[in-house]
């Protein structure tokens, strides 16, 4: 009988990609995926610790499986990923019904560990090798049908003062180009139409060629649409801008986190650029790729953020006019420098600032989307919407979500849609 794996993935795309790789490895020892935790023989929780809210969700999930394990003692429960790396044995101390904890450097060992637990029950904790070599030739069990991720580098060396990621993901390591090309070719052969090259800082790629060279080389493999994330402003070279402008499949979209609009805060965040420098960069990108869509990440409530600092973020957002922004409340991560900075901002103030920032950005997003009404956009069809099977969803090259009335289109098709209506987070239209 086949063994069943219930996989829960939290956090960023990197975790999604890691989960697909672990599912691939567990497939080799007989596990197939299930949505239903009740029939699972193995539950794997792939975790995130970037903010306290992410950790709270994971603790909630771990707690949920306590009752299930009592009913079914043979169930194996594993916690992997960034929070596993950060907490290690603490997780088992807090929740002894967890069987194993593997850090980010141990994800390729998951099948070996599960097999040993099938034979003999004990607690396993391993958070070693956080900056270890990237295992070659892992065959991921890909979740999507149209779009998929290919990691090109792991880790982060930037040490932004608020961020836990460099501590739980280790130093920057790049995969070899040949391995990346082989994986992209396989994904294309499996029918994927869109590939996103992934890394904490994709544009600091250093696998023997520049990121711009890698992007162009992958583009030449013939993928329909090619994306990449996340880029750090400090490494966004002219060569990369040219590769986007000249690329065929390379989509006109850059996710370029700015984090803040105040130079004083940017300096204390260790972001190594000023607001002015970022603005110049945006001008350069827009001059080379006029229809580029720009998205960003912003943090409110960093320690010592004054009303004036916050006003600088609002001014900045109004000046750049991002297509969309992910906005976060600063979360104090122990072990990071900013956690010990004086003048931590009051919770109520943080929440108020977030609301104001979201209102400002939402108005800009709506205005940007409204400018597309009446225009035709190329949409990569994803499939039926969750709520109505007559409505299909897809994305533009600029990565905007589009809803349209379904005719004969199938997932993976490229169609032109005339935009009839714009909302803050999506466009609606009809195939033309």
* Interface contacts to ligand F3S, rule CB under 6 A: 11-12, 14-15, 48-50, 82, 165, 168-169
- Alpha-carbon torsion angle 239, 244, 248, 249, nearest 10: 130
Min separation Cβ 153 and ligand F3S, Å: 12
Cα separation, 205 vs 155, whole angstroms = 11
Buried b (16+ CB within 10 A) or exposed e, 183-218: bbeebbeeebbbbbbbbbbbbbbebeebbbbbbbeb
Distance CA(238)–CA(109), nearest Å, equals 40
Q: Check residue 187 for interaction with ligand SF4 (CB under 6 A).
A: no
What is the rounded distance in angstroms from the CA atom of residue 48 to the CA atom of residue 46?
7
Q: What's the closest the beta carbon of residue 64 comes to ligand F3S, in angstroms?
A: 20
Asked if 232 is part of the footprint of ligand SF4 (rule: CB under 6 A), the reply reads yes
Q: DSSP labels for 94-139?
A: H-TT--EEE-GGGGGGHHHHHHHHHHS---EEE---TTPPPPS---
Cis peptide before 39 (omega within 30 of 0): no
CA–CA dist 228, 238 (Å, integer): 16
* Residue 200 touches ligand SF4, criterion: CB under 6 A: yes
Which residues, in sequence order, are bridge partners of residue 254? 294
Q: Which option in ligand SF4, ligand F3S, ligand SAH, none does residue 159 bind, with CB closer than 5 to 8 A by kind?
A: ligand SF4
Tell me the window of 77-85, 155-163, 345-353, 372-380 that interacts with ligand SF4 (CB under 6 A).
Answer: 155-163
Q: Using CB under 6 A, pick the residue from 10, 154, 310, 328 that binds ligand SAH.
A: 328
What is the bridge-based pairing of β-strands 391-396 and 401-405?
Answer: antiparallel
What residue 166 binds from ligand SF4, ligand SAH, ligand F3S, none (CB within 5 to 8 A, per partner kind)?
Answer: ligand SF4
* 227 binds, options ligand SAH, ligand F3S, ligand SF4, none, Cβ within 5 to 8 A by partner type: none
Contact in structure between 317 and 361 (CB atoms under 8 Å): yes
Q: Which does 330 bind (CB under 5 to 8 A by kind): ligand SF4, ligand F3S, ligand SAH, none?
A: ligand SAH
Over the window 187 to 206, marking each residue x when it contacts ligand SAH by CB under 6 A and - when it does not, the resulting string is -------------xx-----
Question: Among ligand SF4, ligand SAH, ligand F3S, none, what binds residue 11 when CB lies within 5 to 8 Å by partner kind?
Answer: ligand F3S
236 lies in the binding site for ligand SF4 (CB under 6 A): no
Query: If binding is defined by CB under 6 A, does position 170 make contact with ligand SF4?
Result: no
CB of 330 to ligand F3S, least distance (A): 15
Distance CA(108)–CA(135), nearest Å, equals 7
Q: Which does 328 bind (CB under 5 to 8 A by kind): ligand F3S, ligand SF4, ligand SAH, none?
A: ligand SAH
Distance CA 125, CA 108 (A): 14
Coil, helix or strand at residue 288? helix
- In the complex with ligand F3S, the residue whose CB is nearer, 170 or 394, is 170
CB of 167 to ligand SF4, least distance (A): 9
- Taking the C-alpha atoms of residue 278 and residue 262, their distance in angstroms, rounded to an integer, is 12
Q: What is the DSSP letter of 352?
A: H
Residues that bind ligand SF4 (CB under 6 A): 156, 158-160, 163, 165-166, 200-201, 232
Residues that bind ligand SAH (CB under 6 A): 50-51, 156, 162-163, 165, 200-201, 230, 232, 257, 259, 297, 299, 328, 330-331, 333
């Amino acid at each position: 009988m086949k063994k069943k794996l219930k996989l829960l993935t939290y956090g960023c795309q990197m975790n999604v990609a890691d989960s697909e790789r672990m599912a691939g490895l567990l497939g080799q020892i007989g596990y197939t995926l299930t949505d239903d935790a009740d029939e699972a023989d193995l539950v794997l929780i792939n975790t995130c610790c970037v903010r306290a809210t992410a950790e709270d969700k994971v603790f909630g999930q771990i707690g949920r499986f306590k009752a299930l394990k009592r009913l079914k003692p043979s169930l194996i429960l594993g916690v992997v990923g960034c929070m596993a790396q950060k907490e290690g044995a603490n997780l088992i101390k807090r929740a002894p019904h967890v069987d194993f904890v593997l850090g980010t450097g141990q994800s390729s060992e998951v099948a070996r560990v599960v097999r040993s637990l099938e034979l003999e029950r004990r607690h396993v904790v391993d958070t070693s090798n956080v900056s270890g070599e990237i295992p070659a030739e892992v065959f991921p069990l890909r979740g999507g049908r149209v779009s998929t991720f290919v990691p090109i580098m792991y880790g982060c060396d930037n040490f932004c003062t608020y961020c836990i990621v460099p501590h739980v993901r280790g130093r920057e390591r790049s995969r070899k180009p040949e391995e990346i090309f082989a994986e992209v070719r396989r994904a294309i052969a499996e029918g994927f139409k869109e590939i996103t090259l992934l890394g904490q800082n994709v544009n600091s790629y250093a696998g023997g060629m520049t990121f711009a060279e890698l992007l162009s080389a992958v583009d030449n493999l013939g993928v329909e649409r090619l994306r990449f994330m996340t880029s750090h402003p400090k490494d966004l070279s002219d060569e990369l801008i040219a590769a986007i402008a000249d690329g065929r499949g390379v989509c006109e979209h850059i996710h370029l986190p700015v984090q803040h609009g105040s130079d004083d805060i940017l300096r204390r965040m260790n972001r190594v650029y000023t607001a002015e420098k970022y603005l110049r960069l945006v001008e350069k990108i827009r001059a080379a790729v006029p229809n580029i869509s720009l998205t960003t990440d912003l943090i409110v409530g960093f320690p010592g953020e004054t009303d004036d600092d916050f006003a600088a973020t609002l001014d900045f957002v109004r000046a750049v006019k991002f297509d969309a922004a992910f906005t976060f409340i600063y979360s104090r991560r122990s072990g990071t420098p900013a956690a010990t900075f004086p003048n931590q901002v009051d919770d109520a103030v943080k929440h108020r600032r977030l609301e104001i920032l979201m209102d400002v950005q939402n108005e800009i997003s709506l205005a940007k989307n409204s400018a597309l009404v009446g225009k035709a956009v190329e949409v990569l069809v994803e499939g039926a919407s969750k709520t109505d099977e007559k409505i299909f969803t897809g994305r533009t090259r600029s990565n905007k979500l589009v809803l349209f009335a379904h005719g004969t289109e199938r997932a993976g098709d490229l169609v032109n849609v005339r935009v009839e209506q714009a909302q803050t987070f999506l466009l609606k239209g009809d195939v033309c």
